[in-house]
Amino acid sequence: MITLRKAKDRFHTRAGWLDSWHTFSFGEHYDPKQAGFRALRVINDDTVRAGEGFGSHPHRDMEIISYVLEGALQHQDSSGGGGVIRPGDVQRMSAGSGVVHSEFNASATDPVHFLQIWLLPKSAGIEPGYEQKNFPLAQRQAKLQLLASREGRDGSLTIHQDAALYGATLARGESVSFEPAASRSAWVHVARGSIDLNGQRLQAGDGAAISGERLLTLRGEDPAEVLLFDLA
């Protein structure tokens, strides 16, 4: 079964310097039917104005992944993690027993467009941590590249949950396939462009909850950048 979550149906926050679309309930936006999917709790599609950002604030017991689409994001946290994230980079912060962090647009002239993703950890109270790696977009062309996994396998980021995050870029007509294990579910998020997913069209910002499908085929309709979550 494939259940679509269309971009236009997401929650929307506009705060002058911030334009944010929320796939699931977040902040003042709450809908018990859209509170998350399996361990996946947040996919925020954020655009932050030049020179602006999120000041220091706390988190705990959450695996937070930042994925930049355009521009540059400056990160700093109390675990000692920090750096600038650009397209092709993927960053993981484990909030665990408690962490304070800030995120700012690293440019004084251009906006930054990024996805912030939250997953519940397998266990509460783990030691906070930070990790950042570059996964060149060219290496994901017509290929599902593993970006994050519980074991950090194949050079991916390590997350503290039985989940895996894959990324792919697809030109028009290119396709990739994924076979979820029988006991698992998947979520597909289209970051940009458009794809055909098992006969259903998804455009930028669209998501799909997937259960009970033996084979997923993602085919590019317009040049697309896609994330796929394999979830217990």
Question: Mean pLDDT score of the chain, rounded to an integer?
Answer: 96
Looking at the predicted structure, is the pLDDT value of residue 81 above 90? no
38 compared with 53, residue with greater pLDDT: 38
17 pLDDT band, cuts 50/70/90, is very high
Tens-place pLDDT, residues 117-129: 999 999 999 999 9
Looking at the predicted structure, is the pLDDT value of residue 195 above 90? yes
Nearest to 48 by CA among 10, 30, 21: 21
Position 141 scores a pLDDT of 98
Position 174 scores a pLDDT of 98
Q: What are phi and psi of 154, to 5 degrees?
A: 55, 35
Position 32 scores a pLDDT of 95
Position 230 scores a pLDDT of 98
- The Cα 46–Cα 208 span in angstroms is 19
Looking at the predicted structure, is the pLDDT value of residue 33 above 90? yes
What is the pLDDT averaged over residues 189-208?
98
Q: Which two tokens stand for residue 173?
A: 């007509």
**Run of H or E residues at 225:** strand 216-231
Q: Which residues contact 210 (CB under 8 A, 6 or more apart)?
A: 1, 2, 3, 180, 185, 186, 187, 188, 216
Tell me the whole-structure pTM to 2 decimals: 0.96
